[in-house]
Every structure is written in C-alpha cells, then in structure tokens.
C-alpha cells in the first residue's frame, strides 16, 4: 500500500492523475470517455473512496489530505474535459460530413451548360445597337389586337393581316387577344410612354402560325428598331442597316434593300443579306436565290404617328424588325433553323 506525503490512506494520488492522463488520451469516443470519467470521479470511483477514508485520519492530517484529493480531482476533471472537447469536435466533423447534401451535379467539362445560341445572338445584337446609341426596351408577348394590328395601320379585316395569321387566345371578345406576331407593337407602346426623340431597339419572342421549314419556326425572336426625331430620312435608315450589317456579320457580307409593303411603313423595304451558307451561289436554305431575308424596314407611316397622337408634320422616323434566329442562322451557318427548337445537345454543344 502506498500513500502520498500528506497521505490519503491507500491512494497514490499522483499515480492516479498520471493514469487519468494516459487513459483519457487513449479514449477514442465520447462514450468511452464517459465510462472512464465515472470510474475516476464517480461515487464508486477511487477519488470518492479516498475521500471517504479521510475520516480515519487525525484532524490535522485530514485537512492536508483533503486538499490534495481536491487538487487531484480538479486535475482529473480538467483532463477529461480537454479530451471531451477534442472528441466532440471530431465526432461533429464526421457527422457533418456524412449528412452534407451535395446538390451540384458534376459533369464533364464539355457538357457544362452555356447560354443558348439565340439568347447569345440577342445579347450581341443589343450590344451592336447600344454601341450605336440605341436604348433597349421590351413589351409583352401577349398582345391585344389593337397593338398588334390596328395601331399599326391594319384595321379589322385588312388583307395585310393575312401575312401574320396567328394564334388567338380565348380571352375577352373573340379574336381580340393574340400571341404577338412581331415586335412592332412595342413601337406603339414606346411612343405612348415617352415623347420623341426615340432611338430604341426592342428584342423579344414572337409567334406565328407558320409551318416549320429550313428558314421558319412558329416560335421565333425579333429585334425591332425605332427612331423618331425631326428630319429623319430613308438615308438614315439605309445607313443604320449598313452599319449594323458590317458590325454584326463582318465586311464580306453584303446587304440589299428591296421595295416591299408593310402597312405601318411607307416606303417599305425588305432587308436581305448574302446567304452565308452558300455564299450567294444558291442552296436549299435560301431557296436557291443566294439571298436570305433578315427582316423588314421602312419610314414610319403617318397613320402610325396618328394612332399614338404624334403630329406627322413635325415628327419623322424609321423602323425595322429583324429575325434574331435568322441572324443566328446566318452568322453560324446553320442550314436548318429547326435545330434551334430541338435542343439536341449534340447540336447545342457545337453552337
Ligand atoms: N414587323 C414586320 C414583320 O414582322 C417587320 C417590320 C418591322 C417591317 C418594322 C417594317 C418595320 O414582318
């Protein structure tokens, strides 16, 4: 039987603390540490036993021995608490790791997404026009007959409406609400919203009851342009289109304006560029003509100014509307436009 100097009988406190140091360091889990703790510090533990044996000592010895036991208890408590903090941290880290939800889908680099070619084309077209001093505006895809047709100088039963035969919605009176057939109604909305001068482009999605073919899809995109100011001439229109064409397609692509008819412009023109797929030789995409129509243009008709309450004697302007999908098709030499709707990843990956 050994005893420390002051002597709690039957217990070597220094050895006990040393044992506690190595045993707690060896405890691998919070649970095994708890067991060790009750062995050392519990009511049936060695320290408690030493405490109880104090009664056998003489009063003056008892005090010194009691202090020693208390000191040993504090030392053991500190060892256990330190080890518990380390173990608890480690166990929490393991639990957090196992419960972590990984919501990301890791794909190989070539299949990671990118902006769709039509959206990218729209962004690039906006950039070109913003660089030329135009603002960008938008309007709704669901339009009333008035904005889509009437304010654009196409009264009910006007034969030109046949060019834009379309999808009507069952909303309000029959045939009064349509999926817009072009972005031209945004011209009207813009002129109602702000006084001239106006220099704006208006991109967006349009709908037509077209049978899909190499150059047509029933859901497509246009970018409208509108300039309203004093003293605007057809030369301003032609110059703007020329500047746009070389800025977007490069110096090798030629543009031409040919006489055309639109109810909301007078005079009107069709805007065509060299077919980029056959370089003008004629192919299936351009119906063997060597040219592809990108859109329409013309000087704002006085009737349109009248519809929005602008004086046609004071204000002049031009407008144009280009197909964004057509621009993408020509710039990226896509023979058949229908691929833009199919979302085949083998195609999307290349564009
Ligand atoms: N809105 C016409 C179309 O969709 C294009 C156009 C716009 C023509 C502006 C002239 C002026 O065919």
pLDDT in tens, 123-167: 999 999 999 999 999 999 999 999 999 999 999 888 888 777 788
Q: Of the ranges 41-45, 63-67, 170-174, 194-198, which is most confident?
A: 194-198
Cβ of 321 closer than 6 Å to ligand 1, yes or no, is yes
Our mutation pick for probing the ligand 1 site, out of 153, 188, 221, 264, counting the most ligand atoms within 8 A of Cβ, is 264
From the alpha carbon of 187, which atom of ligand 1 is closest? 9
Q: Is the pLDDT of residue 5 over 80?
A: no
User: pTM of the prediction?
Assistant: 0.68
For the chain, give the percent of residues with pLDDT over 90. Answer: 62
Please indicate whether residue 296, judged by its CB atom, sits closer than 6 Å to ligand 1.
Answer: yes
318 touches 235 (CB < 8 A): no
Nearest CA to ligand 1 atom 10: 297
Q: Which of 14-28, 99-113, 295-309 has the highest mean predicted lDDT (pLDDT)?
A: 295-309
Rounded mean pLDDT of the chain? 90
Q: Which two tokens stand for residue 345?
A: 């990843």
Contact 303, 220 (CB under 8 A): no
Of all residues in the chain, the percent with pLDDT exceeding 70 is: 95
User: Which of 76, 91, 71, 95 is CA-nearest to residue 21?
Assistant: 76
Instruction: Indicate the top mutation candidate among 237, 264, 296, 326 to test ligand 1's pocket, ranked by most ligand atoms within 8 A of CB.
Output: 296
Q: Best mutation site among 152, 262, 267 for ligand 1, i.e. most ligand atoms within 8 A of its Cβ? A: 262
- Average pLDDT value for residue range 86-114: 79
Is the beta carbon of 295 within 6 A of some atom in ligand 1? Answer: yes
Report which ligand 1 atom has the smallest distance to the Cα of 181: 4
Helices (H), the chain: 13-26, 30-41, 46-53, 59-99, 117-131, 145-148, 184-193, 234-249, 302-307, 324-331, 339-342, 345-348
Whether the pLDDT of residue 1 is over 70: the answer is no
254: its two tokens = 């030629």
Stretch 58-84: mean pLDDT: 91
Asked whether the predicted pLDDT for residue 292 surpasses 70, the reply is yes
| C-beta 204 within 6 A of ligand 1 | no
For the cut 50, the answer to whether the pLDDT of residue 234 exceeds it is yes
Instruction: Kindly give the distance from the C-alpha atom of residue 297 to the centroid of ligand 1, in angstroms, as a whole number.
Output: 6
Q: CA–CA separation, 230 vs 198, rounded Å?
A: 10
Q: Specify the pLDDT at position 281.
A: 93
Predicted confidence at residue 109, as pLDDT, reads 63
CA of residue 298 to ligand 1 center, whole Å: 8
Q: Which of 188, 177, 167, 180 lies closest to 206 in space, CA to CA?
A: 180
C-alpha span between 343 and 194 (Å, rounded) = 39
User: What is the token pair recorded at 144?
Assistant: 């009333």
Cα–Cα dist 266/298, whole Å: 6
* Residue 318 alpha carbon, nearest atom of ligand 1: 11
What pLDDT is stored for residue 3 in this prediction? Answer: 41
Give me the mean pLDDT over the 99-125 stretch: 80
Q: What's the CA-to-centroid distance between 185 and ligand 1, angstroms? A: 10
319 C-beta closer than 6 A to ligand 1: yes
- Please indicate whether residue 71 or residue 163 has the higher confidence score (pLDDT): 71
Please state the rounded mean pLDDT for residues 265-279: 94
pLDDT at 126: 96
Q: Is the peptide bond before 52 cis (omega within 30 degrees of 0)?
A: no
Nearest-angstrom CA–CA distance, 328 and 318: 24
Pocket test for ligand 1, best of 148, 151, 182 (most atoms within 8 A of CB): 182
């Amino acid at each position: 039987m050994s005893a420390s100097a002051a002597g709690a009988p039957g217990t070597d406190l220094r050895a006990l603390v040393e044992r506690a140091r190595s045993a707690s360091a060896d405890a691998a889990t919070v649970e095994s540490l708890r067991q060790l703790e009750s062995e050392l510090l519990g009511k049936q533990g060695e320290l408690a036993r030493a405490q109880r044996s104090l009664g056998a000592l003489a009063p003056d010895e008892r005090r010194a021995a009691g202090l020693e036991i208390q000191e040993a208890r504090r030392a053991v408590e500190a060892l256990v608490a330190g080890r518990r903090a380390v173990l608890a941290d480690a166990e929490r880290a393991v639990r957090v790791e196992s419960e972590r939800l990984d919501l990301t889908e890791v794909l190989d680099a070539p299949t990671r997404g990118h902006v769709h070619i039509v959206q990218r084309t729209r962004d690039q077209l906006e950039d070109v026009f913003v660089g030329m001093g135009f603002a960008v505006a938008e309007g709704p895809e669901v339009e009333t007959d008035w904005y889509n047709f009437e304010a654009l100088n196409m009264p009910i039963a006007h034969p030109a409406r046949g060019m834009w035969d379309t999808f009507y919605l069952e909303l309000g009176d029959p045939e009064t609400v349509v999926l817009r057939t072009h972005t031209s109604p945004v011209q009207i909305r813009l002129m109602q919203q702000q006084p001239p001068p106006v220099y704006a482009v208006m991109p967006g999605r349009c709908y037509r009851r077209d049978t899909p073919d190499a150059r047509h899809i029933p859901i497509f995109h246009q970018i409208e342009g509108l300039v309203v100011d004093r003293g605007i001439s057809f030369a301003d229109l032609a110059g703007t289109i020329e500047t746009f064409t070389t800025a977007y397609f490069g110096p090798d692509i030629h543009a031409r304006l040919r006489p055309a008819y639109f109810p909301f412009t007078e005079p009107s023109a069709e805007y065509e560029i060299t077919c980029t797929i056959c370089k003008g030789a004629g192919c299936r995409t351009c119906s063997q003509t060597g040219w592809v129509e990108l859109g329409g243009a013309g000087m704002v008709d006085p009737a349109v100014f009248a519809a929005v309450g602008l004086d046609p004697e004071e204000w002049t302007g031009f407008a144009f509307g280009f197909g964004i999908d057509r621009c993408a098709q020509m710039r990226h030499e896509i023979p058949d436009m229908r691929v833009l709707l199919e979302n085949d990843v083998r195609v999307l990956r290349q564009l």
